[in-house]
Amino acid sequence: MRNKILIIGGHGHVGSVITKTLARRYEDRLVLAGRDLGRLEVFKEQSGLSVELMAFDIQQPAKKKQFENISLVVVCIDQQRVDFALFCQKMGIDYVDVSANAAFYHKLAAETIESETGLVYSVGIAPGITNLMAAKLMKELADFDEMSIKVILGLADQHGEAAIDWTLAHLSDRYPLKNQLELVQAFGEKSSFEFNRKKTPVYSFNFSDQHSLRDRWPSKNIKTYLGFDVKWVTQFFHGLQRLNLLTLLARPKVNQMAKRLMSKGVLGTDVFYVQVTATEESGKKVQLTVTGHNEAFVTGKVAAFVVEKVYQSKVKGFVQIEDICDFDEVLEAIPELTLISD
Query: What DSSP line would sit under 120-151, residue for residue?
Result: EE--BTTTBHHHHHHHHHHHH-TT--EEEEEE
- Cα 219 to its chain centre, rounded Å, is 24
How high is the pLDDT of residue 158? 66
Q: Averaged over 298-313, what is the pLDDT?
A: 96
Separation of alpha carbons 8 and 99, rounded Å: 12
The CATH number of the structural domain formed by 4-124+297-326 is 3.40.50.720
Q: How many helices (H) and strands (E) does the chain have?
A: 11, 16
- The amino acid sitting at 179 is N
In order of 95, 96, 304, 340, the CA distances from 311 in angstroms are 10, 10, 10, 31
In the CATH scheme, what architecture does the domain 129-294 have?
Answer: 2-Layer Sandwich (3.30)
What single DSSP character describes residue 183?
A: P
Q: How confident is the model at residue 266 (pLDDT cuts 50, 70, 90)?
A: low
Enumerate the domain spans of the chain. Answer: 4-124+297-326, 129-294
What are the tens digits of pLDDT across the range 61-85?
Answer: 999 999 999 999 999 998 989 999 9
**CA angle, 70 as apex, 68 and 76 as ends, to 5°?**
135
Whether the pTM exceeds 0.75: the reply is yes
> For a pLDDT cut of 90, what percent of the chain falls above it?
72
Q: Give the range among 76-80, 216-220, 302-306 with minimum mean pLDDT.
A: 76-80
Residue 191, pLDDT > 60, answer yes
242: number of CA atoms within 13 Å, CB side?
Answer: 9
The end-to-end CA distance of the chain, in Å, is 50
Other C-beta atoms closer than 10 Å to the C-beta of 313 total 10
How high is the pLDDT of residue 10? 92
3-state secondary structure of 177: coil
Closest by Cα among 336, 339, 321, 299 to 15: 299
Separation of alpha carbons 227 and 192, rounded Å: 9
3-state secondary structure of 1: coil
Residue 162, pLDDT > 70, answer no
Domains 4-124+297-326 and 129-294 in one fold: no
How high is the pLDDT of residue 246? 76
Separation of alpha carbons 8 and 132, rounded Å: 25
Which phi and psi (to 5°) does residue 281 adopt?
-60, -30
Name the pairing type of β-strands 198-204 and 94-97.
unpaired
Q: How confident is the model at residue 264 (pLDDT cuts 50, 70, 90)?
A: low
Q: How confident is the model at residue 122 (pLDDT cuts 50, 70, 90)?
A: very high
